[in-house]
A = this chain, B = another copy of it.
């Protein structure tokens, strides 16, 4: 299956045409819901709803079988009852469809009978060189291709086009149940492996490593199917871009829960921990890290070292961030004399890290202008590798950061922004706007520095892997 892997995988993410198998009954038929999601996302390829009862679905001509379609079809999306799936996969094989997403639930996750049916699916597909994602999956999303699959109403949940690609073993960590649009997550592709009967992490790692639209790979894996192939693929990918993995089942009880969730064995966690370290994979531990850390590595350069500066409007937050940064492996930068002198010309109380700009703000007509003066000085200090800015999230800081963003970008060191306020919708709006400037915005304090620590860890990993690869 390896030779054609990448070309077949691109059929999943960049199909020019999709056949949709599933109930086309209004209002909640799985097939018509999937069609509607694709419409909402603005999918521009051809859609072939397969229906024996309708001649037309949402204004698109329907076909009684996929054989009746005269053109070639890149991808099939199957959301029909379990007993009907096998004949459909056969039909797709005959039609020359090389990529099938089986969204249908009720296979290996239900017990031995479902597992056996699932094995049959794979054998049938492989006989015709067809690759399968699923079953029991929401499928895929590709922002640049306006593509989303899935049998629930998710068409409104379209995030901005970005560089983070996610692969998961649970719909829980996908576009299906996270407000990626409202949070403005910069996403390239998402793949829900579902039961992972065929396409798995070892396929997606090389595909995403090659994918120019992906600059960070983030995976949730409850198990790993082929350890050796995975390790090789992970190591090759990690030499090119960050590979972040959330692997639950760390505790014994968690491992038992994995096994009852997907029927797979979580395995001894220490073995994974070592394998990840050797492959250069960075391990994430929490739900928040999974969603909030990759974006920082995508939007910003990697820190060249581990020395962090904080510029904050509140000394209290500065102290807490230094604690969190230290615990994440960073050190508080000691400014050069030149930087201290320059900051002292603004105010003698600004010369230390964290730089507390709060008192200066109370003295100014336009309080937020202090960031314009302090941030470039601090970030340019040769002793500073990265910076977290702490500020009130509202329109004044959005305006200031709009001006600062190009200057920050020219200095070429990574910055994250942690924000606070008393009006939650206003804060969330500002966060989205700041992130649209390319500056990762956080409403969670510790994650803002943890993201920079992960970037630093990746810098080291990349250097090591490239040295070893020479």
Task: Give a binary string over A218-258; 1 marks a CB under 8 Å from any B CB, 0 the rest.
Answer: 00101000000000000000000000000011111110111
**Are A176 and B422 in contact (CB-based, < 8 A)?**
yes
A219 to chain B, nearest CB (A): 13
- 9 smallest A-B Cβ distances: which pairs? A170-B316, A251-B326, A182-B424, A261-B315, A287-B445, A172-B316, A254-B323, A172-B314, A179-B424
CA distance A286 to B256 in the complex (A): 29
Which of A47-55, A69-77, A348-356 is the interface stretch? Answer: A348-356
Query: What separation, in Å, do the CA atoms of A422 and B288 have in the docked complex?
Result: 15
Closest-CB distance, A158 to chain B (whole angstroms): 10
Known A-B contacts A110-B349, A248-B323, A314-B170; A425 and B253 likewise in contact (beta carbons under 8 Å)? no
Q: Are A331 and B253 in contact (CB under 8 A)?
A: yes
- Given A251-B323, A286-B445, A444-B287: A422 and B316 interface contact (C-beta under 8 Å): no
- The answer to whether the Cβ of A386 comes within 8 Å of any Cβ in the partner chain is no
B177 touches A314 (CB 8 A): yes
Total number of A residues with any Cβ neighbor in B under 8 Å: 72
What is the distance, in angstroms, from A442's C-beta to the closest C-beta of chain B? 10
Stoichiometry, copies per complex: 2
- Chain B, Cβ-Cβ closest to A331: B253
Contact of A332 among B257, B288, B420 (CB under 8 A): B257
Q: In chain A, residues 321-345, which have Cβ atoms closer than 8 Å to a Cβ of chain B?
A: 322-327, 331-332
Chain B: CB-nearest residue to A154:
B422
Q: Is the CB of A177 within 8 A of B422?
A: yes
Q: Cβ of A179: which chain B residues have Cβ within 8 Å of it? A: 421-424, 427
A395 CB-CB contact with B under 8 Å: no
Q: Tell me the bound Cα distance from A179 to B422 in angstroms.
A: 4
Write the chain B residue with the least CB distance to A354: B257
In A152-178, the 8 Å CB interface with B consists of 154, 156-157, 168-173, 175-178
10 pairs, CB–CB < 8 Å, chain A vs chain B = A110-B349, A156-B423, A177-B421, A179-B423, A182-B423, A248-B320, A250-B323, A251-B322, A257-B322, A288-B446
Q: Given the complex, which residues of B lie within 8 Å of A331, measured CB to CB?
A: 253
In the complex the two chains form, what is the Cα distance from A231 to B336 in whole Å?
41
Do B257 and A171 touch across chains, with their CB atoms under 8 A apart?
Answer: no
Q: Give the residues from 173 to 232 in chain A that come closer than 8 angstroms, CB to CB, to chain B.
A: 173, 175-183, 220, 222
A253 touches B326 (CB 8 A): yes
Cα of A301 to Cα of B190 in the assembled complex, Å: 41
In the complex with contacts A257-B332, A324-B286, A422-B156 CB distance below 8 A: yes
Minimum Cβ distance to chain B for residue A301 (Å): 24
Contact B178 A319, beta carbon cutoff 8 Å: no
Bound complex: CA A173 to CA B248 (Å)? 32
- Check A173 against B316 for contact (C-beta < 8 Å): yes
Q: Is A428 an interface residue (CB 8 A)?
A: yes
Distance (whole angstroms) from the CB of A386 to the closest CB of chain B: 15
Q: How far is the CA of A419 from the CA of B444 in the complex (A)?
A: 17
Q: Which residues of the partner chain B approach A316 to less than 8 Å between Cβ atoms? A: 168-173, 220, 222, 261
Q: What is the CB-to-nearest-CB distance from A201 to chain B, in angstroms, rounded to a whole number?
A: 15
Whether B253 and A420, one on each chain, are in contact in the complex, defined by CB atoms closer than 8 angstroms, is: no
Is A376 among interface residues, defined by CB-CB distance under 8 A?
Answer: no
B170 touches A315 (CB 8 A): yes
Q: Which residues of B contact A154 (CB under 8 A)?
A: 422
A362 near B315 with CB under 8 A, answer: no
Residue of B nearest to A269 (CB): B323
Chain B residues whose CB sits within 8 angstroms of the CB of A325 once the complex forms: 253
Report the minimum CB–CB distance from A312 to chain B (whole Å): 9
